[in-house]
Amino acid sequence: MNDDELLDDLGAAMRARASVPPGFLAAGRAAFAWRTVDAELAALAFDSAETGGVLSGTRADDAALRALTFATATLTVELEVGEDGLLGQLVPPQTGEVRVERRDGPPVTVTADDVGWFVVRPVPAGLVRLHVTAAEGGTVVTPWTTL
Amino acid sequence: MIATVRDDPTVVDLVGRARDGDQEAWEAIVERYATLVWSVCRRHGLSGPDADDVNAAVWLRLVENLGALREPAALAGWLRTTTRRECLAVLRGRRRQIPVEDQDLGDEVDAASDEWLLREERHIALREAFDGLSERCRELLSLLFADPPLEYKEISARLGMKIGAIGPNRQRCLERLRGSPGLAALLAASGNRTDRR
């Protein structure tokens, strides 16, 4: 690369930086506040939105709009997005505290009952993740997801 | 396979420190790569609130994956792929009736895409090298790459530098730019690539 090419390329690089919306940097910096060190990151094991829809007939009375499964080695979190709420199940069944964290708002905390069942109403909007402190399965956090 | 900065010590160090909770290192990562995220958004035709959503999601994903990044030196590629996915999710949401297969997903590993990533990485290195120059060099080079271009007479007047001194100073400042460690490694890599063709 000769001097003229280098200067052209430098100009392009500097103009690209100048074109970035200021909000981009602010949002990027702010994301670090969501760093979690006390929980294991669960992997997305299933998402009906990626496989082309929820299997019909799995739940006769309450048709889910979307089903998701998150898992670590010790705990699985099954979610169903329904019309009026987010239904969840901890597997294996156990009690726990489920904190629904939202990028754009305060968290909502619900309790999983002794068969691992929990409900969040209404369905939280925007980017959310679940921070689950399970009685036996440890502390787990799901990846950020738009439900 | 096209050479990228696999051995870039800066990014490996920054990721390591951010992993340990160093906010400054995190901010340095954001400053370094925000342009790349924006550039991917633009390539997908996204701006405004849609691009803001993509951007926010990308950085949240990087925070959650800091500990899981297998190859911190390849962060640019990871960010490109992640941003691309988030862009496609936004586009999918907009056009829910269109199956994913029918959308123009491109080919992530095609040559044009590698070329693009290489250019983004070079731009990152160029900006860092530029930031490390003396104020005098930064002023001079900024006037030299201005768009539309300025005449030497104008540059001379603005900097109080003789017209005859602009050429030699330009050369000296570009030489310093080339000598910055991150950029030197990249230019060498792209030079080798050209040689192989």
Q: Does B188 touch chain A (CB under 8 A)?
A: no
Q: Looking at residues A4-29, what average pLDDT do you find?
A: 96
Question: Between B11 and B112, whose confidence is greater?
Answer: B11
Confidence of residue B87 (pLDDT cuts 50, 70, 90): very high
Interface test with A, best of B22, B23, B64, B133 (most A CBs within 10 A): B64
Tell me if residue A128 falls in helix, strand or coil.
strand
Does residue B18 contact residue B67 with C-beta atoms inside 8 Å?
no
The β-bridge relationship of strands A138-141 and A40-41 is parallel
CA distance A121 to chain B (A): 22
Which of A8-12's residues contact partners 24+ apart within 8 Å by CB, and which partners?
A8/B145, A9/B122, A9/B123, A9/B126, A10/B126, A10/B130, A10/B141, A10/B145, A10/B177, A11/B145, A11/B146, A11/B147, A12/B123
CA–CA distance, B6 with B4 (Å, rounded to integer): 6
- Binary contact (A11, B147; C-beta < 8 A): yes
**B122-170 pLDDT, tens per residue?**
999 999 999 999 999 999 999 999 999 999 999 999 999 999 999 999 9
Answer yes or no: is pLDDT of B104 > 60: no
Does residue A23 contact residue B52 with C-beta atoms inside 8 Å?
yes
Residues of A near B (Cβ–Cβ under 8 Å) read: 1, 3, 6-17, 19-21, 23-25, 27-29, 31-32, 34-37, 41, 103, 127, 129, 141, 143-144, 146
Mean pLDDT of chain B: 86
pLDDT for res B97:
44
| Half-sphere exposure in the Cβ direction for A50 (13 Å, CA) | 12
Q: Looking at residues B79-107, what average pLDDT do you find?
A: 72
Question: Between B3 and A25, whose confidence is greater?
Answer: A25
Q: Looking at residues B105-134, what average pLDDT do you find?
A: 84
Question: Between B49 and A49, whose confidence is greater?
Answer: B49
Per the rule left: phi > 0, alpha: psi between -120 and 50, beta: everything else, A66 is: beta
Q: Looking at residues B88-117, what average pLDDT do you find?
A: 66
CA–CA distance, B197 with B192 (Å, rounded to integer): 9
Length of chain B counted residue by residue: 197
Number of Cβ atoms within 10 Å of the Cβ of B84? 20
Q: Report the range of poorest mean pLDDT among B6-20, B32-46, B126-140, B164-178.
A: B6-20
Angle, CA A112 vertex, CA A86 and CA A40 arms, to 5°:
90
How much is the ipTM here?
A: 0.85
CA–CA distance, A124 with B146 (Å, rounded to integer): 48
Tell me, yes or no, if the pTM score tops 0.80: yes
Q: Does B146 touch chain A (CB under 8 A)?
A: yes
Per the rule left: phi > 0, alpha: psi between -120 and 50, beta: everything else, A2 is: beta
Q: Does B127 touch chain A (CB under 8 A)?
A: yes
Cα–chain center distance at B76: 8
pLDDT for res B191:
65
Q: Which amino acid is at B69?
A: L
Number of Cβ atoms within 10 Å of the Cβ of A118? 22
